[in-house]
Amino acid sequence: MSLRRRERRVIAAAGAAALVAVGLNLAFSAVAAHRRRKRRELPGFTAQVNLSAADIKRLADRVVSKSKETYDAVAAVPLDKVSFSNVIAPLAELDAQQFPLVQACVLPRMVSPSDDVRRASAEAEKRLDSHFQQCRQREDVYRVIKAFTQKGERIGLEATRFVQCMVREFERNGAKLTQSKKTEMEKLKSHIDDLSLKYIQSLNDSTKFLLLNEEDLAGMPLEFLKELENTNGKWKVLLTSYHVTPILEHCKVGSTRKLIAVAYGQKGGKENIAILEKLVQLRHRLARLLGYPNYADYAIEPRMPRTSRKVLEFLEEMSEQLNGLANRELSVLKDLKMKEEGDAQFSVEDLLYYMKRAEELKVDLDIGEIKQFFPVDLVISGILKMFQDLFALRFEEMKDAETWHDTVRLFSVWDASSSDLLGYFFLDIFSREGKYAHTCVVALQNGCLCSNGTRKVPVAVLLSQCPKEFDGNSALLRFPEVVRIFHEFSHVVHHISNRATFSRFSGLQLEGDFAEIPSLLLENWCYENISLKMMSGFHQDITKSITSEACQSLKRRRDIFAGLKLKQEILLCLVDQIIHTGENVNIDDLIKDLHPKCSFFFQVMLGIPLLEGNSPASCFPRIAIGYDAVCYSYIWSEVFAADLFASKFKDDLLNQHAGLRFRNKVLAPGGSKNPLDIISDYLGREPSLQAFIQSRTRNSL
């Protein structure tokens, strides 16, 4: 019997043995029964939508109660009696049954038209987050799971990986710490959260501004100036990205660009530098408390590189490979500045302005005209057709399905060859009051095998804020919005394609680096003629698609000055890694050293001097919160995506054989296998930087 079949048999058998899991199923079924009668039955779909505020509270109560009951039952198993059926299977079944119920509680915060429902959802999310955090710290449950790992029971590869992930998650949350050290850990986390919020609040302060004369803003578009407040004959420029970035891109006056860049760079001031340095110290203390040598190794351990050393090697190689390209690009910018401003030193504040000038000279593209070719309805239908054709899928809209708003659409997803049901997705793409403001994908249900042998299918929700109509017609999308929706729908397909046994290995619960690779790979379709034409059409005559010349210009616009842009990103990533691996690093001194000089055996910013008096460390929000020690991740994912595209798809974008193989080999496993192994097996070798460098070099200038 194969390990995979044995694993499925063990899980099925565990359902009969694990009475807790059975009780859990019955309780959850009772909660949802009255709502199921009101909506069409969807095979494999148990997630609930359109709950009231009272429903959400009751459901959250039951989730907490049944979760505690299951954890208590596992903790009570004698250490000499542990087995897959009484320790691992109940926890796996709990995850499978609870995930869609938890999501039914928390999704309304993002989508419900009702203020009361959104408030109830937000309260439920806080309560559930706190409860699950406590569950992941339970030493009694951790001790039982560890005892099972030492028993040596044969359970199959995916089940083994599931157990390893559980052990790691418990340990990363402090389950093996003494109570006093757990208390210290909680204090550290609380202090870190408070400081991170304080740092971001300082950057979001919209009270800081400069007053500039009209001549100081020469070159700025009239539309931009109209939005500025006029105070005693001067324009009030806020030190926010909404004002600073356009000025750095368009203002012809070098002294104004420098003034703005320095002011923005000092916005957080010495206070934010002190906060960031304190944050780094606290993070190191947290990592060492949990048994890691430094915070970077703690943050990177569950990701693809596994260690900070691997990340530093990657950044070093990337920067070395980019030196030639970035130097050529910088020469172009310096020549432009010489022609426009004379013999003046090229500095950091000049980068965005002269990149924009070069783009205008070298890329023939009218963004306003391009927008005319992307009516939202046509973009969506084109995206759906493209993914169906490429991945051998069939989407069927379910007109009579219950949703949370009348503009939301539900689709079932089928394998085009076997006609097997793969999952469902909701499209909630039109703007409305109270809705989450960004484009993203939320998993409503994970695909997994339940203890009774039935399979829950994946269910995803794509959220966006597209305008619905314009002058009675389908509204038009800016090209970046088209790319964003395409990118996010790739996550939908990744989630729906998942065929893993365990809910834990869903297509949206992967290592952060791996989760973005398929979507970044598929973004390439947004810059190729055949695919762009499938989702475009002139709004007054949809039979007239975007021109091939415009497609080439869009690609060139994406890649122009890729070397310099990546060099700036690498600088940030290096600072992020070094401060989170070293001890008591002076961040300002580190940046001054990395910027113009050779460090780590390679030149980072090609000798461009740092602005005098500037404090970049005071305005690095990603390092302060959200991307601490993992800023490298996006570049890492881009490199893998570029290799996959060049090796498997570039010469035949709609090759269904290649798409189906990608779906089965890369998307279907989810997190059930090591992602490096998944991609290496698919490519037949380890990924390399070459495809990425070549693609950006070819279209850069």
Domain locations along the chain: 53-176, 370-558
Burial (CB count within 10 angstroms: exposed 0-12, middle 13-18, buried 19+), residue 657: exposed
Directed axis angle between helix 179-203 and helix 269-289, to 10°? 160
Residue of 125, 349, 481, 488 with catalytic role: 488
Question: Using one digit for the tens of pLDDT, what is the confidence trace for 19-49?
Answer: 333 344 434 444 444 443 345 678 999 888 9
Q: What DSSP designation does 79 have?
A: G
Phi, psi of 17, deg, nearest 5: -80, -35
Which residues fall within 8 angstroms of residue 128, CB to CB, at 6 or more apart? 60, 63, 64, 102, 105, 106
**569 is a catalytic site residue:** no
Nearest to 317 by CA among 307, 309, 328: 309
Segments in the chain below pLDDT 50: 1-38, 596-604
**Cα–Cα distance for residue pair 226/683, rounded to 1 Å:** 53
Domain 370-558, what fold?
Collagenase (Catalytic Domain) (3.40.390)
**Cα 187 from Cα 222, distance rounded (Å):** 51
Check residue 446 and give its pLDDT: 96
- The sign of the dihedral angle between the CA atoms of 312, 317, 320, 325 is negative
Structure tokens belonging to residue 562: 């890729």
Other beta carbons within 10 angstroms of residue 195's beta carbon come to 18
Task: Judge whether 220 and 250 are in contact, CB under 8 Å.
Answer: yes
| CA 402 vs CA 58, 100, 407, 411: distances in Å | 21, 16, 11, 12
Model pLDDT, residue 606: 59
Fold topology of 53-176 = Glutathione S-transferase Yfyf (Class Pi); Chain A, domain 2 (1.20.1050)
Neighbouring C-beta atoms of residue 193, cutoff 10 Å: 11
Whether 162 and 504 have beta carbons less than 8 Å apart is answered as: yes
Say whether pTM exceeds 0.75: yes
The pLDDT value given to residue 204: 81
Position 13 scores a pLDDT of: 36
Cα→Cα distances 548→154, 358, 552, Å = 57, 22, 6
95 vs 15, 344, 456, 506, 670, CA distance in Å? 14, 62, 12, 11, 16
Tokens 């089928």, residue located: 414
Q: Minimal CA–CA distance to 71: which of 119, 139, 153, 6?
A: 139
Q: How many CB atoms lie within 10 A of CB 646?
A: 16
pLDDT attached to residue 607: 63
What confidence score (pLDDT) does residue 342 get?
A: 85
Q: H helices of 107-138, where?
A: 108-111, 115-135
| Strand segments (E) across 206-329 | 209-212, 229-231, 234-238
Of 628, 295, 191, the closest CA to residue 183 belongs to 191
